[in-house]
Structure 1
Amino acid sequence: MVSARRVISRFVYGSRYDGIPWGQRVYVRPGERLAREVQWRMRLRRAPVITLQDYQARTGLGEIEEFVTCHMCGDTRQQPLFRPADGKGKWTYQVVRCPACGFLYRNPNIRPERLGDLYAKNYSGFLTGTYAAGRQRRYRLTMDAFSPVFDKGDDGGRDRRLLDFGCGAGLFLEIAEERGFDAVGIDLSPDSVAEANRRLTRARAYHGVPQDVPEIAGGGFDVITLWSVLAHLPRPIQDFKMFRSLLGPGGVLLILTVNAASLQLKAYGSKWNGFTRNHLMFYSAETMPALLRRTGFAGVAFAPFYGDTVEAGTTKLPEPMRRRLRRNVRAADGGNMLRALAFADEEAIERWGAGLEVRHLSAEPALP
């Protein structure tokens, strides 16, 4: 059955954009970016801001949930915006916006000790198969966007140490091996870790948390990677303080996560593909620096995301559409995925920041 959205889109734009991936259409159809921005501002204007007490009184609390306040600035007020659901009655939750800093997060959120309830027992089965090729392509495209940080693991005869936090079935660790990094990974899914170690040659994956693995707890890493992990972390301040402590001088932290400023979110609301069953918090280029600054990082740089198939060249766009896509992504939000490189200190900025637009966080006032 053809959706009403598709019928309206065909009526307004015709079939010219049918060959473009759905996620990129909002960036290439004439006038749509501005229309979606107006739509977003109207949504914010209409959504009421209420106290946490009022929000708690009107909102149900599940067995594994807890009410939280803004992790970025501490504001307790709530602006309910979205109610994502799977459409099959299996899950639904509420997403609120902090009226002070704009941070989007799930509330009620999942209690950290019950986070495992969101993941299937055979999670490694999801992380392999047809999923693997697409993920590894995305990893390589993101690594290229931050060249030369990931071009090679060798540094003057020393293999640079890399930690892949939330390594899953080892898809990225395979690439890190290929490029010569001294790589380790860690994950909370035992079957994923077992699958990773079956795939790897030199790198090794561990089950558990960093402080329980001596090889990781000692720190001194040159690179830490978070591939689609950040949205899953219920205590980001605590975790990012740990990441900072594990990085050595000149170290960098790579982050790939869904983008809460995405034009797709503004267009599709609760049906946005970034609202998945196990996502807890949603960052943008405006809110992520607050997290990094509070946890001791010196700087951050972002790389725009134009879409996997567009960047890989498997989707061929006419040159006018390609230019419009790039222009709108840069002008609007950076794309549907947020790609960031965080610098542990000034040494890291000096070494790896060339050619990037680095935002110096140490020069900005600290939040309370």
Structure 2
Amino acid sequence: MTTAKRAVARALYGSRYDSVPWAQRVYVRPGERLARELQWQLRVRRAPVVSLDEYRRQVPAGAIEEFISCHLCGETRQQPLFTPRALTARGRTKWSYRVVRCPSCGFLYRNPNIRPERLGDLYAKNYSQFLSGGYSRRRQRRYRLTMEAFDPILTDGDKRRLLDFGCGSGLFLDLAEQRGFDARGVDLSPDSVELANQRLTSATAYHGAPEDVPEVAEGGFDVITLWSVLAHLPRPVDDFTKFRELLAPGGVLLLLTVNAASLHLKAYGSDWNGFTRNHLMFYSSSTLPLLLRKAGFAGVTFAPFYGDTIESGTTRLPETLRRRLRRSVAASDGGNMMRAMAFADRQAVERWGPGREVVRLDG
């Protein structure tokens, strides 16, 4: 958050909310949710809509980039909205890119985007080191909270087959084997896979894409999980069509990703923490169903995300502000992360859908 924005917030709210963690302030300060929603509507209304050819003339593309149309609805027009960037200590640009909105379906995506064959250029060779230490402890807590949000699907594995796509160093596979799943994982980082197999007992991680691994390509999975992976996929329709083929009858796919309806995005624009160096596409509860329908899924349901400390009971917020935060998230669909469960077929909806608000996708 910039110094100018902090000054505006202090002028509006005084020091009363200074003790509230920065990530939670946008949800608990009075009137801020409505103000941020209005700010977002004005941003969208004022942003120009241009043809793809005109956009190409305005925006340079790097050697590893390509211009794309909307993957979800095929719209070629572009509505430029954001230019995320990261700076060095000396103020030089480390990386930057442009994010556009589809004027037809509202999908947010990076454009120009990364060519699929050059995706590895975004990841350091020692990426597995990033997935260890404090990151791993925070990440496993988030996995547990997500598993609880979708109880009882992940409560007892009972030898059901599970595939963790983008398994990294095996943090979730560790939890899955503890709960009795017959678990497998795939990842494109060889050093991460090596670390995963050192950690695991019964589960196994493989290097490569699902179709490259015979034990995975045979399919028949009861559960597929994608934790913080969806935003990294340059060809999401192809990938999700493959996931649907890998699921057994009655199977489900669970995912966790940054939420493009987040109040943080609406408040902070290009400074949103969901715009990271290696994120390509940004989904919400209104655009994810478009992807799932194209890939052949029968339905989807969502679990609101209130934040790790709120859900784990470790927050220092007083109870009045906890309730206000939950109301803000529920009213705006604005949690900073999105949790969703997609149903492979009607059998899956009938088995796991009761008691949940299911968006039907099968006609």
**TM class by shorter-chain length?**
over 0.9
Match of 2:287 in 1: 287
Quick one: which amino acid aligns to residue 93 of structure 1?
Y
Match of 1:189 in 2: 189
Match of 1:135 in 2: 139
Match of 1:111 in 2: 115
The percentage of counterpart residues that share the same residue type is 72
SS at match of 2:219: coil
- Mapped to 2, the partners of 1:351 and 1:300 lie a distance apart of 13
Please say if residues 98 and 110 of structure 2, whose CA atoms lie closer than 8 Å, have aligned partners that are also in contact: yes
1:139-154 alignment, distance < 5 Å: 139-154=143-158
Match of 2:246 in 1: 246
Deviations 1:31-81 (A, max 9, x none): 000000111111111110000000001110100000000000000000000
- Mapped to 2, the partners of 1:229 and 1:67 lie a distance apart of 22
The reply on whether 1:226 has 2:226 as its aligned counterpart is yes
Which has the larger displacement, 261-270 or 309-318?
A: 309-318
- Mapped to 2, the partners of 1:191 and 1:57 lie a distance apart of 40
Please say if residues 20 and 315 of structure 1, whose CA atoms lie closer than 8 Å, have aligned partners that are also in contact: no
* Shift, 1:248, TM fit: 0.1
Match of 1:63 in 2: 63
Match of 2:28 in 1: 28
Please say if residues 263 and 334 of structure 2, whose CA atoms lie closer than 8 Å, have aligned partners that are also in contact: no
Quick one: which amino acid aligns to residue 115 of structure 1?
L
The reply on whether 1:97 has 2:101 as its aligned counterpart is yes
* Shift, 1:17, TM fit: 2.1
Unaligned 5+ runs, structure 2: none
- Mapped to 2, the partners of 1:327 and 1:249 lie a distance apart of 36
The reply on whether 1:277 has 2:277 as its aligned counterpart is yes
Which has the larger displacement, 10-19 or 88-97?
A: 10-19
Match of 1:3 in 2: 3
* Shift, 1:7, TM fit: 2.6
Which has the larger displacement, 260-269 or 6-15?
A: 6-15
Match of 2:260 in 1: 260
Please say if residues 162 and 182 of structure 1, whose CA atoms lie closer than 8 Å, have aligned partners that are also in contact: yes
Match of 2:343 in 1: 343
Please say if residues 49 and 77 of structure 1, whose CA atoms lie closer than 8 Å, have aligned partners that are also in contact: yes
1:137-216 alignment, distance < 5 Å: 137-154=141-158, 159-216=159-216
1:9-20 alignment, distance < 5 Å: 9-20=9-20
Quick one: which amino acid aligns to residue 74 of structure 1?
G
Deviations 1:275-311 (A, max 9, x none): 0000000000000000001111000000100011111
Please say if residues 37 and 266 of structure 2, whose CA atoms lie closer than 8 Å, have aligned partners that are also in contact: yes
SS at match of 1:74: coil
Match of 1:366 in 2: none
- Mapped to 2, the partners of 1:175 and 1:203 lie a distance apart of 10
Match of 2:354 in 1: 354
SS at match of 2:75: coil
SS at match of 2:96: coil
Please say if residues 303 and 334 of structure 1, whose CA atoms lie closer than 8 Å, have aligned partners that are also in contact: no
- Mapped to 2, the partners of 1:67 and 1:208 lie a distance apart of 26
Report how many aligned residue pairs link the two structures.
359
Quick one: which amino acid aligns to residue 18 of structure 2?
D
* Shift, 1:334, TM fit: 4.1
- Mapped to 2, the partners of 1:190 and 1:348 lie a distance apart of 34
Please say if residues 23 and 336 of structure 1, whose CA atoms lie closer than 8 Å, have aligned partners that are also in contact: no
- Mapped to 2, the partners of 1:306 and 1:184 lie a distance apart of 29
- Mapped to 2, the partners of 1:317 and 1:84 lie a distance apart of 30
- Mapped to 2, the partners of 1:270 and 1:241 lie a distance apart of 31
Quick one: which amino acid aligns to residue 126 of structure 2?
N
Please say if residues 82 and 269 of structure 2, whose CA atoms lie closer than 8 Å, have aligned partners that are also in contact: yes
Match of 2:315 in 1: 315
* Shift, 1:315, TM fit: 0.7
- Mapped to 2, the partners of 1:21 and 1:312 lie a distance apart of 16
Coordinate RMSD, CA, aligned: 1.2
Deviations 1:249-298 (A, max 9, x none): 11000010000011100000000000000000000000000000111100
- Mapped to 2, the partners of 1:335 and 1:353 lie a distance apart of 22
